[in-house]
Copies of this chain bind each other. A is one copy, B any other.
Amino acid sequence: MAGGKKKKEVKKETGLGLSFKKDENFGEWYSEVVVHGEMIEYYDISGCYILRPWSMGIWEIMQVFFDAEIKKMKIKNCYFPLFVSSSVLEKEKDHIEGFAPEVAWVTKSGKSDLEIPIAIRPTSETVMYPYFSKWIRGHRDLPLKLNQWCNVVRWEFSNPTPFIRSREFLWQEGHTAFATKEEADEEVLQVLELYRRIYEEFLAIPVIKGKKSEMEKFAGGLYTTSVEAFIPNTGRGVQGATSHCLGQNFAKMFEINFENEKGEKGMVWQNSWAYSTRTIGVMVMVHGDDKGLVLPPKVASVQVVVVPVPYKDADTQGILDACTATVETLSEAGIRAESDLRDNYSPGWKYSQWEMKGVPLRIEIGPKDLANNQVRCVRRDNGSKSDIKRDNLVEQVKTLLDNIQQSLLDAAKQKRDASVQVVKTWDEFKDALVQKKMILAPWCDEEEVEKDVKERTRGEMGAAKSLCSPLEQPELPEGTICFASGKPAKKWTYWGRSY
């Protein structure tokens, strides 16, 4: 025991290693891993965080994908102001009720008071829609499809958590207007599918596409769809991204009307949809382990790190040259590779550091490898080692990276699935909640019942609420009753605590 403790102190001195374990103290583990992994630096204003290049690189990779996809859908980027006047912000009543407590207000410039306080956007519906009203006159102006990449501010007072709940965050927000509800409905799902792909194809995180309950939908909208992830360690759901159909509610408030082909007046149907830097936090929570971050290859700024393992009497220059050549070969093939040739750190220290930073694949080159014209590959996700010939380096590294990407998704899916529990009664529900499950239950879909569930599950862990009703509904045999109210069930819905 004493030896173990001493070892830990050495690690601390070198700035490596985590003091907390993911399974034992998840919250502290998370705070530590995002800092030691160099994703985040804590900032001197509570709830604000610095996104360091290591996390910004992930954001940029997702952005390149998503931006190209929405451009294919003929959605165009624009930029609306950060500021919104109170009169415009407060135009849609339900909407502002949802956001008002979190709005930050600018009241001064220099030493002068502003004539009227100006709000910082918590989201841009009310910023944009007065101009939709101006720009849309006839059916030829439709659809109007805009997106912006920007920062938004929500001055929340509940527990701030890096990426997951911060007072300022980066996101994209799409805002579109159509002549018909059918077109709006179709786009909601098209965008939701892009969000699923970001999570599953890029971040290797399984998500459930679903519809939010009336209580949980976007304030002022018609209906909200989302992709929902789950964090088994805390037993909490995470709303991964949302695609809202706003219906005609904002159109009514902001008078967004058009004349159709027949010269008749109509009102537009609108959507808005967004994903944010929260995605990165979900990725850290799902894949990270006691050694640090685990990055899926598709989003890692560095997919492969090459570390020389010299020995006293070996051909050190030959080893360093082989490392450099390996990086060159991989880089030319489009693989994001870097070498770590620092001479003041031991190979072991470097292994730990790159494991902390979550680089998917480590390549080691020592005297034996040099002699055999091979390199040693070590996977970050499962630690497995393999020697590969330098002759078909690129092909094998690509295969390894693909395997890591797939394994991460498979492992996450297995854990997530193991957390899902089907319940039919209130007692089963309560038990499953204690066991931190993601609960699938037949529900009557009544708002009063959801309020009641919240009320009955209140406690220091936070109340349970509906996460989503999956778009792919399991069969609901006739006569099935709601787990909470005993009334006839209308649908299957996921429940649980959430972030």
Residue pair B77, A131 in contact (C-beta under 8 Å): no
Say how far A238's CB is from chain B's closest CB, in angstroms: 21
Residue pair A120, B106 in contact (C-beta under 8 Å): yes
Docked complex: A124-156 residues within 8 A CB-CB of B: 130-131, 134-135, 140, 146, 150-151, 153, 155
Q: Which chain B residues lie closer than 8 Å to A263 at the CB level?
A: none
Q: Which chain B residues lie closer than 8 Å to A117 at the CB level?
A: 108
In the assembly, what is the distance between CA of A445 and CA of B134, in Å? 52
A83 within 8 A of B: yes
Q: Which chain B residues lie closer than 8 Å to A170 at the CB level?
A: 79
- Among the listed B44, B80, B100, B107, which residue makes an inter-chain contact with A110, where contact means beta carbons less than 8 Å apart? B100
Residue pair A140, B45 in contact (C-beta under 8 Å): no
In the assembly, what is the distance between CA of A223 and CA of B474, in Å? 68
A369 within 8 A of B: no
A456 within 8 A of B: no
Known: A82-B151, A83-B168, A151-B150. A77 touches B106 (CB 8 A): no
Residue pair A108, B110 in contact (C-beta under 8 Å): no
A88 within 8 A of B: yes
Known: A79-B50, A81-B48. A108 touches B109 (CB 8 A): no
Interface residue tally of chain A, by bracket?
35 or more
Say how far A204's CB is from chain B's closest CB, in angstroms: 23
Tell me if A's interface is mostly helix, strand, loop or mixed: mixed
Residue pair A109, B104 in contact (C-beta under 8 Å): yes
Say how far A464's CB is from chain B's closest CB, in angstroms: 26
Residue pair B106, A104 in contact (C-beta under 8 Å): yes
In the complex, per-residue mask of A341-367: 1 if CB is within 8 Å of any chain B CB, else 0 = 010100000000000000000000000
Q: Which chain B residues lie closer than 8 Å to A102 at the CB level?
A: 109-110
In the assembly, what is the distance between CA of A140 and CA of B340, in Å? 12
A388 within 8 A of B: no
In the assembly, what is the distance between CA of A283 and CA of B479, in Å? 69
Q: Which chain B residues lie closer than 8 Å to A79 at the CB level?
A: 50-51, 56, 59, 170
Residue pair A50, B131 in contact (C-beta under 8 Å): yes
In the assembly, what is the distance between CA of A394 and CA of B60, in Å? 33
Residue pair A109, B76 in contact (C-beta under 8 Å): no
- Among the listed B110, B120, B140, B150, which residue makes an inter-chain contact with A103, where contact means beta carbons less than 8 Å apart? B110
Docked complex: A31-87 residues within 8 A CB-CB of B: 41, 43-45, 48-53, 56-57, 59-60, 76-85
Residue pair B83, A48 in contact (C-beta under 8 Å): yes
Give the residue among A77, A84, A111, A344 with the most B Cβ atoms within 10 A: A77
Nearest to A134 among chain B residues (CB) is: B41
Extra A-B contacts (18), CB below 8 Å, given A60-B77, A103-B110: A44-B85, A49-B81, A50-B78, A51-B78, A51-B79, A56-B76, A56-B77, A56-B79, A57-B76, A59-B79, A82-B151, A100-B110, A101-B109, A101-B111, A102-B110, A104-B109, A105-B107, A109-B155
